[in-house]
Chain A
């Protein structure tokens, strides 16, 4: 019987990781809604965010805020490059969805290997954004970085919400997701919207990666797990719903943390897979709108 304190501690940390899953999940949704494409390389953005921020911090000696912004801009540019060089040519040729997924997986491997060659294969981390801590609430400790993760995550979600509801471009992007042909007829440049969706979801992933790195580590290989877990978050939320993905991510992070306490660290991803299969089989349109039929 694991004691409750251990469990509560795990839940606290799980929520932080879960938020990152949620942000990756939103990244999946943004691209999927704009184009119907599932970008398997989504986890790459998380990995690159952390790796680049670390490199800019340690090798270039930049201060954290500058490093973080610069890293995110670079990752967004990489997202745009993936769209322009790989996805767009296939999309225009009407290639099967499966082949596009495959191509994005190849992109992931390519970027992983380039990362190994240029930055090395050793895991690394950097200091919390704010020194001191952790905060002690009785027997439970909360790392200061967790507040950065939660705060940063909340800020990004709020910014996204404002973007999609209040700005012209954001509304145009949503129009694409509802009906690309109609959007094109209305004069919305669908191709450019696709680019935007890649830039946006890459930046989201990168920021999430930068925020979470101090609480664990980053390495070339973390993209796979983050990508899969982000995807699972999106599935739990009913693929395509951004708020659903966020909630799904937090749920998944918490569930994983509990599974680790109950069964051991090796079962982190096994738990995620089981959760994914259960959701796919029991709630094919997501947990939060299980009653709504898929239209």
Chain B
């Protein structure tokens, strides 16, 4: 309700908030995917930014470099990211705990490094400019507001798909793995295969978010998909509530509006996100969704 009101207000008034909400919707997509892997399956990936980079650069190269249709670029990038996740994930999903965290973190660093070094493909440190806005079959979405509408629609579609995955045999198996791996195995669930599937799904979401970012802003550089992106997305997940359907979106919107309260340097924003994340982790590990649920459950 609040979200609809906010969206309506911004749609009518336009301005800078359109960009802010657009980015929130993009992060909503990213975090919804990450949430499937981290929130529901209970695994850690510190390198999802790598798959967002695949989407972002895929779109930049295909659409800006080769004049592809945005939708085609988006889908092909998603397929590449999924494939990459499959290949990388197959060995990596055997790891647990801090090993898994560090292996995925290293993956993010490697892709970041490649995006800087491989300048023939990515235009290096200076970044890739001139990416066309979102559109379909030759029709560009001319205004920012139209783009925002499209982004919100895509995000809602992503959430809807996540909800379908969650409330099914597939989703139950994922959540069982988070609950107790030995018990899941003892019930015949192929644990590593399900982890891999969740990792691939999360990567496909991340790639879509990267592509959408490229279209929405029109420019990407390696910095966009660096470690701060990982911390920001975790802040959103924990702010909204990890392991809930709407938590990631709530977190994305709130965390995106947060810096508007204390505008300033990019560095200040990153510091603010880090502090918020640490405070959430210490004091409200269930996030806002958990807080709301706890309040709702309390007998009045």
Is there a chain A Cβ closer than 8 Å to B278's Cβ? yes
A281 touches B94 (CB 8 A): yes
A224-B109 in contact given A277-B92, A280-B103 (Cβ < 8 Å): yes
A228 touches B98 (CB 8 A): no
B109 touches A105 (CB 8 A): no
Is there a chain B Cβ closer than 8 Å to A29's Cβ? no
B106 touches A113 (CB 8 A): no
A273 touches B99 (CB 8 A): no
Whole-angstrom CA separation of A267 from B109 in the bound complex: 12
A113 touches B271 (CB 8 A): yes
Stretch at the interface among A88-96, A135-143, A150-158: A88-96
Q: 1/0 per position for B103-129, CB-CB distance to A under 8 A?
A: 101110110011001100000000000
Q: Which residues of A contact B282 (CB under 8 A)?
A: 86, 89-90, 93, 95, 103
Whole-angstrom CA separation of A16 from B99 in the bound complex: 26
B101 touches A106 (CB 8 A): no
Is there a chain A Cβ closer than 8 Å to B228's Cβ? yes
Whole-angstrom CA separation of A266 from B107 in the bound complex: 15
Find the A residue at minimum CB distance from B277: A106
Is there a chain A Cβ closer than 8 Å to B220's Cβ? no
Number of interface residues of A (CB under 8 A): 40
B231 touches A228 (CB 8 A): no
Whole-angstrom CA separation of A60 from B110 in the bound complex: 37
A103 touches B278 (CB 8 A): yes
Size category of the B interface is: 35 or more
B228 touches A109 (CB 8 A): yes
Is there a chain B Cβ closer than 8 Å to A117's Cβ? yes
* Closest Cβ–Cβ distance, residue A276 to chain B (whole Å): 6
Is there a chain A Cβ closer than 8 Å to B285's Cβ? yes
A105-B267 in contact given A38-B101, A97-B98, A98-B44 (Cβ < 8 Å): no
Q: 1/0 per position for B77-113, CB-CB distance to A under 8 A?
A: 0000000000000011011011101110111011001
Q: Which residues of A contact B230 (CB under 8 A)?
A: 105
A113-B267 in contact given A107-B274, A231-B102, A266-B118 (Cβ < 8 Å): yes
A98 touches B101 (CB 8 A): yes
Q: 1/0 per position for A267-281, CB-CB distance to B under 8 A?
A: 001101100110011
Is there a chain B Cβ closer than 8 Å to A116's Cβ? yes
B95, B99, B109, B274 — most chain A CB neighbours (10 Å): B274
B118 touches A225 (CB 8 A): no
Is there a chain A Cβ closer than 8 Å to B144's Cβ? no
What are 11 A-B residue pairs whose CB atoms fall within 8 Å in the complex?
A95-B285, A97-B97, A98-B101, A99-B285, A102-B277, A103-B277, A105-B46, A109-B231, A114-B271, A116-B267, A270-B114
Is there a chain A Cβ closer than 8 Å to B275's Cβ? yes
Find the B residue at minimum CB distance from A235: B99
Besides A100-B281, A276-B103, 4 new A-B residue pairs in contact (Cβ under 8 A), listed by A number: A98-B101, A106-B273, A109-B271, A114-B267
Is there a chain B Cβ closer than 8 Å to A64's Cβ? no
B281 touches A101 (CB 8 A): no
A228-B105 in contact given A101-B98, A269-B110 (Cβ < 8 Å): yes
Is there a chain B Cβ closer than 8 Å to A110's Cβ? yes
A224 touches B99 (CB 8 A): no
A277-B103 in contact given A106-B277, A109-B228, A270-B110 (Cβ < 8 Å): yes
Is there a chain B Cβ closer than 8 Å to A198's Cβ? no
B271 touches A86 (CB 8 A): no
Whole-angstrom CA separation of A28 from B213 in the bound complex: 36
Is there a chain A Cβ closer than 8 Å to B163's Cβ? no
Is there a chain B Cβ closer than 8 Å to A21's Cβ? no
Is there a chain B Cβ closer than 8 Å to A40's Cβ? yes
A224, A225, A276 — most chain B CB neighbours (10 Å): A224
Is there a chain A Cβ closer than 8 Å to B137's Cβ? no
Whole-angstrom CA separation of A95 from B106 in the bound complex: 24
Find the B residue at minimum CB distance from A39: B98
Q: Which residues of B contact A110 (CB under 8 A)?
A: 270-271, 274-275, 278
Is there a chain A Cβ closer than 8 Å to B265's Cβ? yes
CB contacts under 8 Å to B, within A237-284, are 266, 269-270, 272-273, 276-277, 280-281
Find the B residue at minimum CB distance from A102: B234
B95 touches A40 (CB 8 A): no
Is there a chain A Cβ closer than 8 Å to B75's Cβ? no
